Amino acid sequence: MFLLIGLGFVLGLKHALDPDHMVAVSTIVTESKSLRKSSLVGTFWGLGHTVSLLCAGFVVIALKVQIADRAALWMEFAVALMLILLGLKAMLKPLRGWKLHSHRHTHEGSTHTHLHLHGGEEQVHRHRHWIGIGARPFLVGLVHGMAGSAALTLLVLATIPSAVAGIIYIAVFGLGSVGGMLVMSSLISLPFVFARKRFNALSEILQVTVGLFSVSFGLFLAWQYSFQEHLIF
């Protein structure tokens, strides 16, 4: 039993490194201004992920309800759509507040018109409670947890005969994913926190780049589930 719990924790750590998880969390930590907030993003993602897994695990293991393959595919498709939305938000946020307008100048009787691009004014600091910071990553973690619940619960059903042991395994697995994402979200945020403090323009370019990658990856997954897995077509 202890070996099983240890294995669940290690697999949970590894599970946090899945590409779709890393891409989703990356789009959120690009907005962080400190390592503390970035670690909170990873922690809340892991908590949401664990809540989904426990709910699905209770339904499947305790109530003996099977998750259909097509339902599992729709959950994965929802992850693809979520990556697209997160990417679009990350891309559009740095562009807010930029204004293009013209100025007229008269020099020696000749009038010239110049176009100017002005960046947004520095936003007034607003105090945000930790619940507000964690709401979005918690919801993202919920979606990821539902998408991965089918494969995990089937694995638990196949290898763990006891329902109680199965729920404990899923809980420890979720705890491992919390720890893994806490560390990874902090590491991912390092270049963004550094750039935001010294080179704000570079920070915005990095944010747009991450958002573009998230949109591209989400579109690839959506295409894969729609055509290769024949979910829609």
Q: Distance between CA 92 and CA 87 in Å, rounded?
A: 9
Question: How many domains, the chain?
Answer: 1
Q: Answer whether residue 89 is part of any domain.
A: no
pTM of the model: 0.83
SS3 of 31, please?
A: coil
168, 7 contact by CB (below 8 A): no
Quote the CA–CA distance of 142 and 23 in Å, as a whole number.
15
Q: What is the pLDDT along the chain (233 residues), one digit of tens a residue?
A: 778 778 889 989 999 999 999 999 999 998 888 888 899 999 999 999 999 999 988 888 878 788 888 999 999 999 999 999 999 999 988 776 555 555 566 666 666 665 555 554 444 444 455 556 788 999 999 999 999 887 888 777 777 778 888 888 899 999 999 999 999 999 999 988 888 777 877 888 899 999 999 999 999 999 999 998 888 87
With respect to residue 81, please indicate whether it lies within any of the assigned structural domains: no
Q: Is 103 a domain residue?
A: no
Q: Is residue 216 assigned to a domain?
A: no
Segments forming the whole domain that contains residue 47: 2-75+129-197
Using CB atoms within 10 Å of the CB of residue 210, give its burial: 0 to 12 exposed, 13 to 18 middle, 19+ buried: buried
Reduce the DSSP state of residue 199 to 3 states and report it: coil
In-domain check, residue 113: no
- Residue 68: inside a domain, yes or no? yes
